[in-house]
Amino acid sequence: MTTVTAPDPAVGTAVGGEDPYLEVEDLKVHFSTEDGLVKAVDGLSFSLRRGVTLGIVGESGSGKSVTSLTVLGLHNPGKTRLSGSVKVGGVDIVTADAEKIRRMRGKDMSMIFQDPLTALHPYYTIGRQIVESYRVHHDVPKKQAWTRAVEMLDRVGIPQPDKRAKQYPHEFSGGMRQRAMIAMSLVNNPSLIIADEPTTALDVTVQAQILDLLEDLQREFNSAIILITHDLGVVSEVADEVLVMYGGRCAEYGTAQQVLRESEHPYTWGLLRSVPTLSGDADHDLHPIPGNPPSLLNVPNGCAFHPRCEYAMNAGGPCDTQRPELLPVVGGTAHLAACHLPHDKRRTIRETEVKDGS
Amino acid sequence: MRSKELKRQARFIAVGGVAMALLVTGCAENTGDNGEGAQEHEQNTLDIIGTAEDSVGPATPVEGAVEGGEITFIQNSDMAHLDPARNYVSTSMMVGQGLLYRTLTGYREDGDGSRKVVGDLATDPGTDVNGDCTVWEYTLKDGLKYEDGTDITADHVAYGISRAMATEENDEGERVPMYPEGAQFLLDWLDPANEYVGPYEGEETAPGIAVDGNKITFTFDSPRCETPFAVAMPTTAPIPPDKDTKGEFDQMPFSSGPYKIEERVFEERTVLVRNEHWDANTDPIRHAYVDSFVFEYGTQPEDITTRLAANASGDENLATFTPVDSSQLSNIVGNKAEYEGRYLEGPRKYTSYLNINMNRVTDLAVRQAINHAFNRDRWVQVNGGEYSVLPNTTLMGPTVPGYVDYDVYPYDVEKAKELLGGETIQLRYAHADTATEGRIAAAMVDEFAKAGIEIEAVPIDPLDWYGQIADPDNSFDLYWSSWGEDWPSGSTVFPPLYHSRSIPVENNYPFINVPELDQKIEDLESSSAGFEETAAQWGELGKEIMEKYAPVIPTDIAYGVWISGSNVGGHYLSENISTLDVTKLFVREP
Amino acid sequence: MLRFIIRRLLLAVLTLTMVSIITFGLFFAVPADPARLQCGQRCTAEQVDAVRANLGLDEPVHEQYVDFVKGIFVGRSYDNGTECGAPCLGLLNVGGREVTEVVADALPITASIAVGAWLIQMTLGIGLGAIAAIKRGRFIDKFAVGASLVGAATPLFFFGPMLLLIFRYELEWLPQPAYVSPLQSIGDWMVGMILPWLAVSLIGFAFETRMTRSQMLETLDEDFIRTSWAKGLRGRTVFGRHALRASITPIATSAGLSLAGLLGGAVVTETIFGLNGLGKRAVDAVRALELSMVMATVLIAALFIVVSTLLVDLLYAVIDPRVRLS
């Protein structure tokens, strides 16, 4: 098995100036199941500074959600084998003790989940859930925590926050619920926010509002954000950097500009082509990627994408036998891609066949 | 005809309509001799009617008996009736007559196997005034008291009997008996036309009864030589009219016996304490060793046995009328030594038969063949062995004076085949739809097949058992029934079982209807020849019925095993009531 | 809310009416004749008729039913002079005792068995089930699954007598199970009830354990549990305040129904331990064809079920803010 080459240290410096708040190095997350070993994440490296938003893109089962849960230390310790390192504010989640990670969780790093209806406890009021989030990390009286909760609800744009705090999740609309979720996640001013498909469950107009809100809050708190999504449209709106995952590995990594405009990986092209555009003809522009994402129990030999890749060089070519390394793209700064296609050919294909996603 | 008795009700109710309580599983060790604890009775002696001397109290002491203490009976259900006019079930009779009320006569059982009808309230078993059994005179003893210390009088005995005959008008305007459940013999003899309406709405005293001071006289219009037995039934218990609470009397009878009711909650608990006014010197039958008797209800038969066998601390003073449950029978009789001093066994007065439906099996030769083909040993075995039933080949059991031992149709397959002339016959065998009865039926199918008799076993809903087999038009050829005599005489066996008037209201389940036989039965019933003479004739009549008609297959007589807690002494099997004799019990260490 | 309760109460009345009519109908559909049973097999037809008239069984079935229902509300007076005040459930054929009285005696016994056993089975069942789910796959989980399997597979008619044999007859640690009013002596009451409690709660415990475990496992997979972990909550807060709280609805349902079921009469237990509770009374009544008693026990059992489902539904509204009663 080949391993991914550690990215050029220069990569992390694409945006921003200080030391990275989050540093993931050669992270492998494997769990044993009855059917065999699942390599959910198999050698992943990236880093992120405060104030920067990283979009992690991929289909379901690509390992993006597992990555985010691992960063929070929410993997099942009994069944999961971890290697590599995940440093959050200098603390290595892989080796730190559970209690230490728990104290960080929700305070230094927090998570916004995809579906706020199921992610909020149905039997407790919104206010109470935020209060609980706050008080587990701050030794303050309930009343003070309540004031803080109402303040946060106000901050995320919920009208009549003092009233709404006393209501239950089911009494909120989808957008309001996600705002409440965000308020709960941000109540402790976390330095790292992981948003897992935060807008998928919402309708389009609300999506934009939530994304705007996230951007505002990021500016205010100077947090690092990981935005996990399968939607390149969302990524293009808010991400500074983009990491494309496939089969538990990084397929392409670079700034949003690089990945979205100068994409170097056929899988990214596929994702771009599957994004609907407002300008184009819906019938012709939508090209879902044929086939299904690979089973993480049995990742294809060579390039994991080769069975679905229309440019794959199979039968004698390296694509079905040799795993492509994640290498800097010729001419790009801190732009990495894992593809056997020669650089020239990739550029040709991109320019002739792949239209810009946006 | 007014009414009949309900002897079988005990077994009938106890098992919810299936009169099969004694049919058991398991297989007891088949021992010829009844070892330790077994009780021998002076069976079939004709000298059963006692004398005035026999009627003098106190009763013969029980060896080793001491006074004091409390005995608790655990039972599955409460006494069916305690009102003497309604009490006709063995355990209720044992409690009622043994502890709560006295009757004109009673059975003196001295603990040595003897049994005699003696005067209880009366000074003797009765005087046949004219020597033709039509007029009977009884004189009450002196010093007889109720529980409140008042005197028991002959008037009260007359009232008790008259009250038992009371009728009331139902919605259709017909007069129906108010207390139909009790023994009716004496009542029918006194008022054969059924005209008396009872003391509530009619004459204070029933026809045929005359009271003169402490004398009471019964006058019958035909000879009633078994009057000493008939007045031993609970109906002659004295009741002061002002204590007659009618329906409530059934729960709280006014005591004339050695105990009175202190507490009674039906189906929960009954507590009896001493009646201080009872005088042992007037009573040749009863003892009162124990200070109090408690009866608790609601324990299943198998659990009663388990609990008594365990004899755990606090349970040493327990006793029960319920025989050892079939599920534990072999275990207990196999370890009799462990139960020394608290174990009792012996034959009971219930005889069983397989009735042959004579409306369907009309050919005598066929009925005889069926009898020859019956494997009695196998029957006993599948019924639980000889600690459950003993093989019997007679119509009148060995507990009845005049018993004659005969086996008219011994088990003989070849003889059966010969009688059938080599033919194969089909018979429908009805049995209650229970596991035990099913198993017995299966064994019978096997056995009868050997003689070329093909049995079709037909299961019947136990609740509907008697409704089905009592129907003369039923579609079955063979079915079980059982009988226990009301008193030790063939007169309480043959008329209800083999006289045509007992179709279908009595127990004539083979539906035998032979005028010649009817006449013989009637002659014996109305004979004025005296008990001893007729007793032997009843015994012979049984043999004759088997020879001439073969209406049933006599199968077995019931056998019982009882145990109690280790602190209870004085175990004795009352031959009269066929269960543990409550009057002889005592607490070893009160 | 009020409307909900009113509607449910009306429904309850309808249910009880239906149950009573069906029971009544079934009773008379059975070929067995209470009068014949009461009278015995040697009764003449006239005698059986007399007994039938005494028992009031000669009237048309619908009139008997009306009399029965009327008795419950306004009482009845009988030909023999018995005045049976409301709520009158009739008289026993044998013994003539008022059924209401019998029920009043039997109910505390059944309630003692039911409530005690229920508390034991709920405490142990929920506790062990929750721990098993939390420690899924560990020893305690395997133990819980095993124990509940054994509990579920052990027939009461075997387990009850075994308890008696061991603790009463062999070791003699306990007296014979018996009902002593707790008002009289709490200690004696508990000592007398221990074996029935153990016997009954074993099966209930097995059921509650399995149900709590599977419910907890389901809940632990819920997004909001992940959220509570992500908030940095301590394990006990996540399991206790979040997971168990969210699992409580089905547990409450089964708790309510099992209590109602137990109150309706623990037939086998009462029979084994010789306790004259409602269940035993019911079985005895069916055997003895005691219509009034059968009706009373069936109605009481049905009443417990109806009331407990209503209470459980009301409880839902308290437990789950999403539930609106209307």
Which of C39, C42, C103 would best serve as a mutation to test chain B binding (most B beta carbons within 10 A)?
A: C42
A299-328 pLDDT per residue, tens: 888 888 888 888 887 666 788 888 888 888
Does residue A235 sit in helix, strand or coil?
A: helix
- Chain C contact for B244 (CB, 8 A cutoff): no
CATH of the domain at B427: 3.10.105.10
Closest CA to B150 of B245, B250, B263, B238: B238
pLDDT confidence bin for B234, thresholds 50/70/90: very high
Average pLDDT of the residues of chain A: 85
For C223, nearest residue in chain A (alpha carbons):
A119
Kindly list the residues of chain C whose beta carbon comes within 8 Å of any beta carbon in chain A: 137, 222-224, 226-234, 237, 242, 245-246, 319-322
CA atoms within 13 A on the CB side of C204: 31
Cα–Cα distance for residue pair A342/A321, rounded to 1 Å:
16
Identify the domain containing residue C81 by its residue range.
2-88
pLDDT at B177: 84
Mean per-residue pLDDT for A158-178? Answer: 92
pLDDT confidence bin for B23, thresholds 50/70/90: very low
Share of chain B above pLDDT 70, in %: 92
Closest CA to B386 of B171, B566, B557: B557
CA angle, residues B532, B534, B537, in degrees to nearest 5: 120
Closest CB to C47 among B3, B248, B297: B3
Q: Is the pLDDT of residue A202 over 90?
A: no
pLDDT at B51: 93
Closest CA of chain B from C56, distance in Å:
10
- Judge whether A79 and A31 are in contact, CB under 8 Å: yes
- Please report whether residue C94 resides in a domain: no
Interacting residues of A338 by C-beta distance below 8 A, sequence separation 6+: A4, A249, A250, A251, A252, A265, A303, A323, A324, A325, A326, A327
Mean per-residue pLDDT for A12-31? Answer: 76
Cα–Cα distance for residue pair C50/B184, rounded to 1 Å:
15
Average pLDDT of the residues of chain C: 87
Q: Is the pLDDT of residue A110 over 80?
A: yes
Q: Are C31 and C116 members of one domain?
A: no
Q: Are C266 and C215 members of one domain?
A: yes
> What is the torsion angle, in degrees rounded to the nearest 10, for the CA atoms of residue C90, residue C94, residue C96 and residue C100?
-40
- Please report whether residue C95 resides in a domain: no
Cα–Cα distance for residue pair A204/A211, rounded to 1 Å:
11
Cα–Cα distance for residue pair C324/A203, rounded to 1 Å:
27
Contact C321 A103 (CB under 8 A): no
- Please report whether residue B502 resides in a domain: yes
* β B425-432/B478-484 pair status: parallel
Closest CA to C55 of C31, C28, C16, C29: C28
Q: Which two tokens stand for residue C158?
A: 């075997």
Q: Can chain C be said to touch chain B, i.e. do they have 3 or more Cβ pairs within 8 angstroms?
A: yes
Mean per-residue pLDDT for B299-317? Answer: 91
Distance of CA C284 to the CA centre of its chain: 17
Domain boundaries, chain A: 1-108+190-358, 125-187
Q: Are C124 and C199 members of one domain?
A: yes
Closest CA of chain C from A182, distance in Å:
12
Q: Are C18 and C134 members of one domain?
A: no
What are the C-alpha distances in Å from C81 to residues B247, C77, C96, C103? 9, 7, 11, 21
Residues of A with Cβ-Cβ distance to C232 under 8 angstroms = 102-107, 133, 136-137
Cα–Cα distance for residue pair A237/A218, rounded to 1 Å:
14
Closest CB to A168 among C228, C319, C321: C321
Q: Are C73 and C179 members of one domain?
A: no
What are the C-alpha distances in Å from C76 to residues B265, C17, C89, C297? 21, 19, 9, 19
B384-409 pLDDT per residue, tens: 899 999 999 999 988 899 999 999 99
Closest CB to B467 among C36, C54, C97: C36
Mean per-residue pLDDT for A270-277? Answer: 77
- Judge whether B430 and B469 are in contact, CB under 8 Å: yes
Closest CA to B219 of B128, B339, B351, B120: B128
Q: What are phi and psi of C241, to 5 degrees?
A: -75, -30
pLDDT at B17: 26
Share of chain C above pLDDT 70, in %: 96
Mean per-residue pLDDT for C299-323? Answer: 87
pLDDT at C210: 92
B479-522 pLDDT per residue, tens: 999 998 999 999 999 998 999 988 866 789 999 999 999 999 99
- Please report whether residue C93 resides in a domain: no
CATH of the domain at C319: 1.10.3720.10
- A225 strand-pairing partners: A53, A193
Which of residues C217 and C27 earns the better pLDDT score?
C217
Q: Which two tokens stand for residue B164?
A: 């038992």
- Judge whether B562 and B323 are in contact, CB under 8 Å: yes
Mean per-residue pLDDT for A35-51? Answer: 90
Q: Are C247 and C127 members of one domain?
A: yes
Closest CB to A170 among C233, C245, C322: C322
pLDDT at B461: 81
pLDDT at B74: 94
- Judge whether B410 and B372 are in contact, CB under 8 Å: yes
Contact A74 C230 (CB under 8 A): yes
Contact B300 C274 (CB under 8 A): yes
Quickly list H helices, A136-249: 142-155, 161-164, 174-186, 204-221, 232-238
pLDDT at B15: 27
Quickly list H helices, B450-530: 465-469, 494-498, 515-525
Identify the domain containing residue B491 by its residue range.
347-559
C48-91 pLDDT per residue, tens: 777 777 777 888 888 889 988 988 999 888 876 778 888 888 88
Number of domains in chain B: 1
pLDDT at A292: 82
Q: Which two tokens stand for residue A308?
A: 């679905």
Residues of A with Cβ-Cβ distance to C224 under 8 angstroms = 118-122
pLDDT confidence bin for B70, thresholds 50/70/90: very high
* β B389-391/B343-356 pair status: unpaired
- Please report whether residue B128 resides in a domain: no
Closest CA to B430 of B452, B457, B464, B407: B457
Which of residues B235 and B502 earns the better pLDDT score?
B235
A158-191 in b/e form (b: 16+ CB < 10 A) is: beebeebbebbbeebebbbbbbbbbbbbbbbebb
Q: Are C173 and C129 members of one domain?
A: yes
Average pLDDT of the residues of chain B: 88
Last residue of a domain, one of C88, C108, C132: C88
Reading across the β-sheet that carries A80-88, which strands appear in turn? A36-48, A22-33, A80-88, A91-92
Q: Is the pLDDT of residue A245 over 80?
A: yes
A285-296 pLDDT per residue, tens: 556 788 888 888
For A181, nearest residue in chain C (alpha carbons):
C227
Q: Are C125 and C77 members of one domain?
A: no
- Chain B contact for C174 (CB, 8 A cutoff): no
Q: Are C73 and C145 members of one domain?
A: no
Contact C44 B1 (CB under 8 A): yes
pLDDT at B542: 95
Cα–Cα distance for residue pair C86/B366, rounded to 1 Å:
62
Q: Are C155 and C190 members of one domain?
A: yes
Q: Are C55 and C110 members of one domain?
A: no
pLDDT at B40: 57
C-contacting residues in B 484-513 (Cβ below 8 Å): 496, 505-507
For helices B531-548 and B515-525, the axis angle rounded to 10 degrees is: 170
pLDDT confidence bin for B41, thresholds 50/70/90: low
Q: Is the pLDDT of residue A357 over 80?
A: no
Last residue of a domain, one of C25, C59, C88: C88
pLDDT confidence bin for B168, thresholds 50/70/90: confident
What are the C-alpha distances in Å from B366 to residues A159, B422, B465, C92, C204? 102, 11, 25, 48, 59
pLDDT at B34: 38
Superfamily of domain A1-108+190-358: P-loop containing nucleotide triphosphate hydrolases (3.40.50.300)
Contact C228 A121 (CB under 8 A): yes
Q: Is the pLDDT of residue A85 over 80?
A: yes
pLDDT at C29: 82
Closest CB to C105 among B250, B268, B464: B268
Closest CA of chain A from C292, distance in Å:
46
Print the SS3 string covering chain C: CHHHHHHHHHHHHHHHHHHHHHHHHHHHHCCCCHHHHHHCCCCCHHHHHHHHHHHCCCCCHHHHHHHHHHHHHHCEECCCCCEECCCCCCECCCCCCEHHHHHHHHHHHHHHHHHHHHHHHHHHHHHHHHHHHHCCCCHHHHHHHHHHHHHHHCCHHHHHHHHHHHHHHHCCCCCCCCCCCCCCCHHHHHHHHHHHHHHHHHHHHHHHHHHHHHHHHHHHCCHHHHHHHHCCCCHHHHHHHHHHHHHHHHHHHHHHHHHHHHHCCCHHHHHHCCCCCHHHHHHHHHHCCCHHHHHHHHHHHHHHHHHHHHHHHHHHHHHCCCCCCC
Which of residues B9 and B413 earns the better pLDDT score?
B413
Identity (one letter) of the amino acid at B90? S
Interacting residues of B584 by C-beta distance below 8 A, sequence separation 6+: B62, B65, B111, B287, B570, B571, B572
User: What element of type H or E holds B555?
Assistant: strand B552-563
Q: Is the pLDDT of residue A240 over 90?
A: yes
Q: Is the pLDDT of residue A142 over 90?
A: yes
B52-68 pLDDT per residue, tens: 999 998 999 999 999 99
pLDDT at C202: 87
User: B-C interface: how many C-beta pairs under 8 angstroms?
Assistant: 138
Closest CA to B250 of C274, C58, C82, C278: C82
Cα–Cα distance for residue pair A30/A38, rounded to 1 Å:
5
**Residue the block writes with tokens 């039923």:** B474
Q: Are C69 and C131 members of one domain?
A: no
Cα–Cα distance for residue pair B9/B6, rounded to 1 Å:
5
pLDDT confidence bin for B467, thresholds 50/70/90: confident
Q: Is the pLDDT of residue B289 over 90?
A: yes
Identity (one letter) of the amino acid at B585? L
Question: Which pTM was predicted?
Answer: 0.75
Q: Is the pLDDT of residue A214 over 60?
A: yes
Which of residues A6 and A27 earns the better pLDDT score?
A27
